[in-house]
Structure 1
């Protein structure tokens, strides 16, 4: 039973981390390059709408679930029979924490600044708003994509090692 719980936690950590890494990868490879080709007003409007739309339960499940499930999986592998897997889980957790810290220290504040920037008299227009936002947001999003993908790789390897140890075998 204990091995089944460890296996389930490890699978859940891998899946949710994959969802989160894939999201930031998609932004790096498709969303932001696509928006780069748009005019300033369209860019600012689209990013504002994306920043509102993304705040939903499905996003939360992947984003926070990865942190929770990876932490749980690491805790469940503290026993001596889980020590081969544990370093990979700790590495995955550390890499995912880079993603989380980057999100809350850089990308969310940039999103908030984008939302607060107006176009009324005395306020910067869309070109100035975009200028202060786009390059920095994209650069830090690439870090999130890379760290999330690296965390996913660590979790995949942890699953391989866990399977080799017979973890979760019925």
Structure 2
């Protein structure tokens, strides 16, 4: 497999490893940007809302984000990052491989793992909550159970997403030792 595709067009190395690295780096930047923008604008904006409005907005956002524009890069990176690292594996290991391996670990555990183990269960509990049937006390309690833990875990996955993107960008700065 390590001799599949290699060509140069206009001085640009169009090897499988470089094409995959470009796609991977773009996807990690998109995920980091999404999480960062959410942390800098959406969360502070939502924090200003009354309980009913906040809970309704979060329910709506959590339902809306389940679309291909989010899901393809979000889930795809779980496979793409290790594959991209694999394509750069040589003996001895190269800096590019080490950075991509670090990116894969950071993303799988720090972004995907936290999302699935922490944020998604909070989203699902919120989705099951009936805002219209809730008392004022129920609304306040639901917000307290959701907002602070969700934002804490979101901040951690945002930091992990930014680190993942930095690792992939740094990997681009090192020459490929792969012949793919």
TM-score, reference length from structure 2: 0.84
CA distance, structure 2, for counterparts of residue 159 and residue 123 of structure 1: 53
Structure with more helix by fraction:
1
CA deviation after TM superposition for structure 1 residue 39, in Å: 0.8
- Specify whether residues 109 and 6 from structure 1 end up closer, same or farther in structure 2 by C-alpha distance, changes over 3 A only: same
CA deviation after TM superposition for structure 1 residue 125, in Å: 2.8
The correspondence of residues 159-170 of structure 1 with structure 2, limited to 5 A, is 159-162=172-175
- Specify whether residues 31 and 167 from structure 1 end up closer, same or farther in structure 2 by C-alpha distance, changes over 3 A only: farther
Query: In terms of mean alpha carbon deviation, does 42-51 or 1-10 score higher?
Result: 1-10
- Specify whether residues 162 and 68 from structure 1 end up closer, same or farther in structure 2 by C-alpha distance, changes over 3 A only: farther
- Select 2:78's aligned residue among 67, 76, 80: 67
**Which residue in the other structure is 1:91 paired with?**
102
**Which residue in the other structure is 1:116 paired with?**
128
CA deviation after TM superposition for structure 1 residue 146, in Å: 0.3
CA distance, structure 2, for counterparts of residue 132 and residue 158 of structure 1: 40
Runs of 4+ in 1 over 3 A off after TM superposition: 121-124, 165-168
- Specify whether residues 63 and 112 from structure 1 end up closer, same or farther in structure 2 by C-alpha distance, changes over 3 A only: same
Figure out how many residues of one structure are paired with residues of the other and give that number. Answer: 167
CA distance, structure 1, for counterparts of residue 15 and residue 93 of structure 2: 13
CA distance, structure 2, for counterparts of residue 161 and residue 82 of structure 1: 12
The alignment yields a C-alpha RMSD, in angstroms, of 2.2
Structure 2: unaligned runs, 5 residues or longer: 7-13
CA deviation after TM superposition for structure 1 residue 116, in Å: 1.2
CA distance, structure 1, for counterparts of residue 22 and residue 61 of structure 2: 29
CA deviation after TM superposition for structure 1 residue 121, in Å: 6.3
CA distance, structure 1, for counterparts of residue 161 and residue 134 of structure 2: 41
- Specify whether residues 18 and 121 from structure 1 end up closer, same or farther in structure 2 by C-alpha distance, changes over 3 A only: closer
